């Protein structure tokens, strides 16, 4: 019997376990599988507070339906009927700039009418058609790429907040090719993003898109009961194969595979295959005895801390309608928040009748110290920022703070090289796999896509052992 251990009960670990199980069962491979999770509950970054009719997500609030992997997983789990699509109004996204919220333009005429950029900056974007390409083999930062192709103002007011929204990161340090590989591919293939957009639209027959130029394509999708439905269903499927409250302490080689040792009560576990589905920083210490170089390399993956501050208000407290997804704040504004998501406008069920829920993000790579403030200070800071930006002075009727010291891995310049080095270490450690959102995509869709790829690798490895 082959034994497979997956460490980490976030979406990466749970989805990987599901995919491995499916493949080994269909291959008729006699196996035992275990998932070890440090906490008493599964989900990792996915979780929520439910109180007084509010449902406030701790981390992700949904996944986009423009990529298939999470939708397919939901389908296999029988969850398709429970999926909840965001409200139509949520396709409107705002950027806060120079004292105002500007709707992200969704069409060329709206782009020219918008006051987010001045006229020279808009004309500079047209100049993208003739901008010099990235040097072959180079690893430009998002900011360098943006200034070269779109000009400084569009970089500061469009690209910068997009980077905040996804990575809570610093565009001057993040690698374009690692953070936004599709954009890098399009530049390489078409030599211009405008030319690429036109060519792709022509190919698709100008299909309707619900996203503005800096908004992601697709509709945000979750469940009426919150995103936790997904990890909870995966955990239910695992049943006794899931071991909670089992923090991995170390990994050692045995004759045929690996021995996992845990802090606390969980017994050692010997296995043929070990999959670490942890944040890079958490995977480092358990690997020290096995491969010090790999452990050191994993420490080089940097993280940005983020605090999520959920505030619920009576709807009447707002002088304006919260008619969109929310707003992001460019770094040049020097404000103390990264942006605010109008959660109950995205999914109406997240607040009771007559109320609204906003989730405001604080910290990130450029202001990490703000994410470490006390809960009371974070609530006060967000209230002051929302008062200045949205004019809301009322006392919230609901407040919930979540802090993530290692919220999102920063794919800084050199990320690709670090991944190659990691693969070189792993090639000398047969049967050991590393996955999670620190490496090949930070979104839930990336985690579920990578789960299938890792499971393929595990199944192939076990076929070769047989």
Residue 148 tokens read as 């070269």
What stretches of 39-191 show up as alpha helix (H) in DSSP?
68-76, 108-113, 119-126, 142-150, 152-154, 160-167, 176-179, 181-190
Q: Are 4 and 271 in contact (CB under 8 A)?
A: yes
CB of 113 to ligand FAD, least distance (A): 29
Does 248 interact with ligand FAD (rule: CB under 6 A)?
yes
Residue 231 to residue 108: CA distance in whole angstroms: 40
Binding-site member from 18, 54, 63, 223 for ligand FAD (CB under 6 A)? 63
Candidates 10-18, 188-196, 292-300, 346-354: pick the segment binding ligand FAD (CB under 6 A): 10-18
Does 231 interact with ligand FAD (rule: CB under 6 A)?
no
Cβ closer to ligand FAD: 156 or 229?
A: 229
Residue 352 burial (C-beta neighbours within 10 Å; 0-12, 13-18, 19+): middle
Cβ closer to ligand FAD: 10 or 257?
A: 10
Q: Is the dihedral of CA 390, 143, 371, 398 positive or negative?
A: positive
Cβ closer to ligand FAD: 37 or 333?
A: 37
Q: Which of residues 26-55 bind ligand FAD (CB under 6 A)?
A: 36-39, 44-46
Span between the terminal Cα atoms of the chain, in Å: 10
Does 340 interact with ligand FAD (rule: CB under 6 A)?
no
Residue 417 to residue 92: CA distance in whole angstroms: 37
Does 69 interact with ligand FAD (rule: CB under 6 A)?
no
Pairing verdict, β 432-435 and 273-277: parallel
Does 7 interact with ligand FAD (rule: CB under 6 A)?
yes
Does 282 interact with ligand FAD (rule: CB under 6 A)?
yes
Residue 69 to residue 75: CA distance in whole angstroms: 10
Does 216 interact with ligand FAD (rule: CB under 6 A)?
no
Binding-site member from 443, 453, 457, 461 for ligand FAD (CB under 6 A)? 443
Q: Are 339 and 164 in contact (CB under 8 A)?
A: yes
Question: DSSP string covering 129-157, please?
Answer: GGPPPPPTT---BHHHHHHHHH-HHHIII
Cβ closer to ligand FAD: 58 or 159?
A: 58
Number of residues this chain uses to bind ligand FAD (CB under 6 A): 37
Residue 330 to residue 355: CA distance in whole angstroms: 28
Q: Which of residues 262-281 bind ligand FAD (CB under 6 A)?
A: 277-279
Residue 346 to residue 64: CA distance in whole angstroms: 13
Q: For the chain, what is the total number of helices (H) and then of strands (E)? A: 17, 20
Cβ closer to ligand FAD: 49 or 199?
A: 49
CB of 79 to ligand FAD, least distance (A): 16
Site string (381-420) toward ligand FAD, x via CB under 6 A: -----------------------x--xx------------
Does 455 interact with ligand FAD (rule: CB under 6 A)?
no
Give the interface with ligand FAD as residue ranges (CB under 6 A): 7-13, 36-39, 44-46, 59-63, 247-248, 277-279, 282, 286, 306, 308, 404, 407-408, 436-437, 442-444, 447
């Amino acid at each position: 019997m082959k034994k497979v251990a997956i460490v980490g009960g976030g979406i990466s670990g749970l989805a990987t376990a599901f995919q491995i199980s499916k493949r080994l069962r269909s291959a008729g491979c006699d196996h035992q599988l275990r998932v070890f999770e440090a906490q008493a509950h599964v989900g990792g970054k996915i979780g929520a507070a439910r109180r007084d009719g509010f449902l406030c997500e701790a981390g992700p609030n949904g996944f986009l339906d423009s990529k298939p992997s999470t939708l397919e997983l939901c389908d296999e789990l029988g969850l398709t009927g429970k999926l909840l699509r965001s409200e139509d109004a949520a396709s409107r996204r705002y950027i806060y700039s120079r004292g105002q919220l500007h709707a992200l333009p969704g069409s060329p005429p709206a782009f020219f009418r918008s006051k987010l950029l001045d006229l020279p900056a808009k004309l500079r974007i047209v100049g993208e058609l003739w901008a010099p390409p990235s040097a072959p083999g180079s690893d430009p930062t998002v900011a360098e790429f943006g200034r070269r192709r779109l000009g400084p103002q569009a970089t500061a007011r469009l690209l910068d907040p997009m980077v905040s929204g996804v990575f809570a990161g610093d565009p001057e340090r993040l690698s374009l090719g690692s953070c936004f590989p599709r954009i890098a591919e399009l530049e390489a293939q078409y030599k211009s993003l405008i030319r690429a957009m036109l060519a792709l639209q022509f190919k698709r027959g100008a299909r309707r898109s619900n996203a503005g130029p800096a908004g992601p394509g697709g509709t945000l999708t979750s469940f009426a009961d919150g995103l936790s439905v997904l990890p909870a269903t995966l955990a239910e499927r695992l049943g006794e194969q899931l071991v909670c409250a089992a923090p991995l302490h170390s990994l050692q080689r045995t004759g045929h595979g690996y021995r996992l040792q845990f802090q606390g009560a969980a017994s050692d576990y010997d296995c043929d295959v070990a999959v670490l589905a942890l944040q890079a920083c958490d995977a480092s210490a358990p690997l020290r005895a096995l491969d010090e170089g790999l452990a050191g390399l994993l420490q080089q993956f940097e993280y940005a801390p983020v605090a999520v501050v959920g505030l619920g208000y009576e709807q009447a407290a707002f002088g304006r309608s919260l008619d969109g997804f929310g707003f992001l704040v460019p770094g040049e504004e020097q404000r103390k928040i990264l942006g605010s998501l109008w959660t109950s406008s995205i999914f109406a069920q997240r607040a009771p009748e007559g109320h609204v829920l906003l989730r405001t993000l604080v910290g990130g790579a450029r202001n990490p110290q703000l994410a470490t403030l006390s809960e009371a200070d974070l609530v006060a800071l967000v209230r002051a920022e929302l008062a200045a930006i949205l004019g809301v002075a009322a006392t919230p009727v609901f407040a919930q703070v979540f802090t993530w010291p290692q919220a999102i891995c920063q794919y800084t310049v050199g990320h690709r090289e670090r991944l190659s080095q990691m693969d070189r270490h792993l090639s000398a450690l047969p049967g050991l796999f590393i996955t999670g959102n620190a490496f090949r995509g930070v979104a839930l869709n990336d985690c579920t896509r990578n789960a299938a790829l890792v499971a393929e690798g595990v199944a192939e490895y076990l076929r070769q052992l047989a």
